[in-house]
Structure 1
Amino acid sequence: MFSHPHPLILIETLDNGSVSLHDPMKRVELLCDGCVRPITDLPFYRCSQDDCGFVLHEWCTRLPSEIQDHHGHPNHTLVLEPQYGRSLHGVFECKICKLYTNGFTYECMECEYRVDINCAFIPDVITHEAHPDHLLLRIEGSPNLSKTFCRACRRSMDKQPGFRCPTCDLYLHTKCALFLPGKIRHKYDKHALSLRYYPAENHRSEYFCEICEDEFDPEKWFYHCSTCASSMHTACAPLKLYCEKSVLPDDLPVFWFLNVKFGRTVEIIHHPHPLTYEQGLSADGECDVCHEQLQHYVIFKCSRCKFTRHRWCVKKHV
């Protein structure tokens, strides 16, 4: 089982008002340090040290310590490893969904194979609202699928695992099939937006994202409100609070930092102040080491001075 340097407290009620559940409508963010998903229900665990900020879903404390015969890496045992506090560079790319994460992982250290805990338990067969008449079977990415495309994002299936309908030859990437909720709600919208699988308006020129204001392809999945005739990219949709800070380029199918928890602080030897783990914005300017733009990358930032660097430009002295 994972370890944490401080005792954890089980939170079963919110009577004292000291803790609030995740609620984007009220600008309250409470993300689990294990699965990096919002904590919206009781009970959950919180670190006894108020300045730590470590929280876990109750079910994330009951994860198995090992996985045998994992479909993506069947030859070796995968061991549960907490990323929190383990290293300064605690972000990695999951081998299955290809998204970055700093949550808990299952790892084979011998092969450097790592998957986030959301992808560690993907079933072999799923159903999906976009294709309700047939079951979808899990498949691995393959060079043979280089000219086969995901129905959601229209990107190739050659490098990413996903799901396939053998009857209709429909394909979906894992992250497109599992990480896009059917409805979302933003505090500035009167109505919920629904995930659309096909065009909703009459003409292609009518599709502009409400968040980034760019035109988009309605043949790809998108979020839409028929009442307000408003639409947005799936990657621009404000699934969590930090999505509101900055959208990402290239019309990504899923928000790039969906599985990253920002706001953690670390201390390093060669800087006198704590550094905060953040998503780089245009206002952050350039990295003071490589002098490249910080926007759209994971960065370390000091709130007390002008120290701002890409995570890979910060030395590994914690």
Structure 2
Amino acid sequence: MTEQKMDHPSHPHQLLRCFGRMISPCNACGDEHSGTFYQCTTCSWFKIHLDCALLPTKLLIQKYTNESFSHPHLLNLACSFPHIERKSKFYPRCRVCEVAFNSYKWHYRCDRCWYYIHVKCATSRSEAFMSVLMHAGLGKTNKNFKDEDHPNLIKCPFPDESCNLLKNLFINRGELNLKTQIDGAIFNHQDPLVLFDTKASLLNVSVSLHDPMRKVELLCDGCVRPIMDLPFYKCYQDHCGFVLHEWCTKLPSEIQNHHDHPEHPLVLLPKVPTKSFGMFLCKLCWLYSNGFAYGCVKCGYYIDINCAFIPDVITHDAHPDHLLRRFKGSIDISERYCKACNFEVEEDHLGFHCPTCDFYMHTECALLLPSTMRHKYDKHPLILRYDPAENHDGEYFCEICEDELNPRYWFYHCSTCDSSMHTSCAPLILQCEQSTYSEDLDDPRPFFKFINVKFGGTHYVRDHPHPVTYVQGLEADGRCIVCNKPLQFNAIFKCSECHFVCHFRCVRVSSPVPAICAT
């Protein structure tokens, strides 16, 4: 039998049962209900529906949802969510429907994690929990495609840094038929390239596989991805750092009818001929690269070799069981905010989206952020997370740049050490003191801004007698001697013999070896 009066912790005054059935908004959940209500006799505006009045103070949501979505810990009923608290938690959204919270509405929360959920979603009292099919929530979705219809479907994220589209497309999956030596001239390199296919072949040369834990960096000159496994090709000159993945030697010489530039064929270019030092801005991901490119010299159109093979559809663990289709940002959609970084997929950018859900991603976020990352600051693999970590109720701080981290957006996390890193900071291996996420406000990308650039090497520039090195600028490097603008976070040339330092865009290209240096 329903009590006529009720003392409820959500309100300081006693509540009285309203006689008769009524239709009214509920102050607890915010929805309109029909049925029995309790009303405060002092505050006439305060009414809560019977179902909300009887909500359990503690709840394990698997019992209510058939594991359509779940959380391992007991949730506690909270009758308010003050603005100052929501601000400190980066304005969290419901983990099921992804709708924001109201300061005065009830919700369930986990005291051990950053897990918050509307009462109606937690209890499945209505069809609200089915909104996982309409929003980019973290609940389970029903599979909307057949595997046999997509035999070559790319599944993202890739398992580690060494994997990319090219490895999926061009690696010889059968018995490897590799040449022990290939002509470097076809890749605009003057010396032959030698195959390294066994660990024994590495013993007598000064080259080691890419290993973040030992601060060893070995990047392919083609795709600029780490070389972490055998086989690969390297220039036979021991002092030369020119290396290629095995699959990067199998790239087609040209691409016909590319989806973004169908007017002319795109030709494989080991170095973009019209750009200084081969550095160019990719027309699809809008990231700088000095690796191989596919380009149309006539139109001045260049894209990096990874972007050249972006597929029509992929799947991603952040939105499992639904196909994500490639789209151009110019399609008529009012909001195209990437679920990884919360930045808009702009009109001239490519992205992936789920046609049946409110889910959008930059192609770069989908393809450049692997599921695991190794870093010298943590002895365990770091896992890519799409939501706050379980059993972590404190604040989040990046171990690299030491800035506060918003766990609503993707980040890397070690649950063993309880450490976290921005996705843009995690790949930094040799320059860990550089922050590229929160401080570089001109380019707030969710990944290392020079992820497609291979630094290092010896170069020569006009009007300077010494060789210079290609690096990323630090705060200590000061200002460019040409334009007097700060060098931090930018690609720069730096001389180890004097104080010469400038942006790569400010320098003038010289002949390979100036006469003054030819000694």
Is the pair's TM-score, using the shorter chain for normalization, greater than 0.5? yes
User: What do the CA deviations read for 1:63-111 (whole angstroms, capped 9, x no partner)?
Assistant: 1110001111111110110128985342122111221110000001122
Cα distance, 1:205–1:98 mapped onto 2, change above 3 Å: farther
Alignment pair present for 1:267 and 2:267: no
Structure with higher Rg: it is: 2
Measure the CA separation in 1 of the matches of 2:229 and 2:369. Answer: 20
1:308 corresponds to: 501
Cα distance, 1:245–1:31 mapped onto 2, change above 3 Å: farther
Check the 8 A contact 1:145/1:157 in 2, yes or no.
no
- Report the Cα offset of residue 245 of structure 1: 4.3
- Report the Cα offset of residue 116 of structure 1: 0.4
Question: Which of the residues 250, 263, 287 maps onto 1:99?
Answer: 287
- Report the Cα offset of residue 209 of structure 1: 1.5
Q: Name which of structure 1's ranges 58-67 and 264-273 shifts more when overlaid on structure 2.
A: 264-273
Measure the CA separation in 1 of the matches of 2:342 and 2:239. Answer: 44
Paired residues for 1:27-38 under 5 Å: 27-38=215-226
1:295 corresponds to: 488
Q: What is the TM-score with the length of structure 2 in the denominator?
A: 0.58
Alignment pair present for 1:41 and 2:226: no
The residue matched to 1:185 in structure 2 has which SS? strand
User: What do the CA deviations read for 1:182-226 (whole angstroms, capped 9, x no partner)?
Assistant: 111212213222111112268997122221121232221111122
**Bigger fraction of residues in helix:** 2
Alignment pair present for 1:173 and 2:358: no
The residue matched to 1:216 in structure 2 has which SS? coil
- Report the Cα offset of residue 158 of structure 1: 2.2
Check the 8 A contact 1:146/1:156 in 2, yes or no.
no
Check the 8 A contact 1:150/1:157 in 2, yes or no.
yes
1:137 corresponds to: 325
User: What do the CA deviations read for 1:39-80 (whole angstroms, capped 9, x no partner)?
Assistant: 112121111222321111111111111000111111111011
Question: Which of the residues 340, 348, 352 maps onto 1:152?
Answer: 340
User: What do the CA deviations read for 1:237-279 (whole angstroms, capped 9, x no partner)?
Assistant: 1x25245241212452111011100002112342111111110
The residue matched to 2:309 in structure 1 has which SS? coil
Check the 8 A contact 2:462/2:509 in 1, yes or no.
no
Check the 8 A contact 1:144/1:158 in 2, yes or no.
no
Question: Which of the residues 392, 404, 407 maps onto 1:218?
Answer: 407
Measure the CA separation in 2 of the matches of 1:179 and 1:246. Answer: 19
Work out the percentage of aligned pairs sharing the same amino acid: 61
Measure the CA separation in 1 of the matches of 2:249 and 2:364. Answer: 24
Check the 8 A contact 1:162/1:171 in 2, yes or no.
yes
Q: In structure 2, give the amino acid aligned to 1:76.
A: H
Alignment pair present for 1:59 and 2:247: yes
Paired residues for 1:69-84 under 5 Å: 69-83=257-271
2:388 corresponds to: 199
1:276 corresponds to: 469
Measure the CA separation in 2 of the matches of 1:189 and 1:207. Answer: 16
The residue matched to 1:300 in structure 2 has which SS? strand
Report 1 or 2 for greater relative contact order, CA contacts < 8 Å, sequence distance ≥ 6.
1
The residue matched to 1:162 in structure 2 has which SS? strand
The residue matched to 1:191 in structure 2 has which SS? strand
Check the 8 A contact 2:375/2:429 in 1, yes or no.
no
- Report the Cα offset of residue 146 of structure 1: 5.8
Cα distance, 1:41–1:191 mapped onto 2, change above 3 Å: closer
Aligned residue pairs total 317
Measure the CA separation in 1 of the matches of 2:228 and 2:350. Answer: 29
Question: Which of the residues 103, 112, 123 maps onto 2:311?
Answer: 123
Q: In structure 2, give the amino acid aligned to 1:58.
A: E
Check the 8 A contact 1:88/1:266 in 2, yes or no.
no
Cα distance, 1:76–1:243 mapped onto 2, change above 3 Å: farther
Q: In structure 2, give the amino acid aligned to 1:196.
A: R
Cα distance, 1:27–1:150 mapped onto 2, change above 3 Å: same
Alignment pair present for 1:88 and 2:281: no
Measure the CA separation in 1 of the matches of 2:187 and 2:374. Answer: 34
Cα distance, 1:265–1:245 mapped onto 2, change above 3 Å: farther
Check the 8 A contact 2:428/2:448 in 1, yes or no.
no
Question: Which of the residues 192, 210, 230 maps onto 1:22?
Answer: 210
Q: Name which of structure 1's ranges 70-79 and 216-225 shifts more when overlaid on structure 2.
A: 216-225
Measure the CA separation in 2 of the matches of 1:132 and 1:141. Answer: 22
Q: What is the TM-score with the length of structure 1 in the denominator?
A: 0.93
- Report the Cα offset of residue 228 of structure 1: 2.4
1:161 corresponds to: 350
The residue matched to 2:364 in structure 1 has which SS? helix
User: What do the CA deviations read for 1:251-308 (whole angstroms, capped 9, x no partner)?
Assistant: 5211101110000211234211111111011111111111111110000111111110
Measure the CA separation in 2 of the matches of 1:167 and 1:240. Answer: 36
Q: In structure 1, give the amino acid aligned to 2:456.
A: G
Check the 8 A contact 1:152/1:220 in 2, yes or no.
yes
CA RMSD of aligned residues (A): 2.1
Q: In structure 1, give the amino acid aligned to 2:191.
A: H
Cα distance, 1:231–1:240 mapped onto 2, change above 3 Å: closer
Alignment pair present for 1:183 and 2:376: no
Cα distance, 1:287–1:184 mapped onto 2, change above 3 Å: same
Structure 1 gaps of 5+ residues are none
Measure the CA separation in 2 of the matches of 1:146 and 1:299. Answer: 39
The residue matched to 2:420 in structure 1 has which SS? strand
Alignment pair present for 1:227 and 2:416: yes
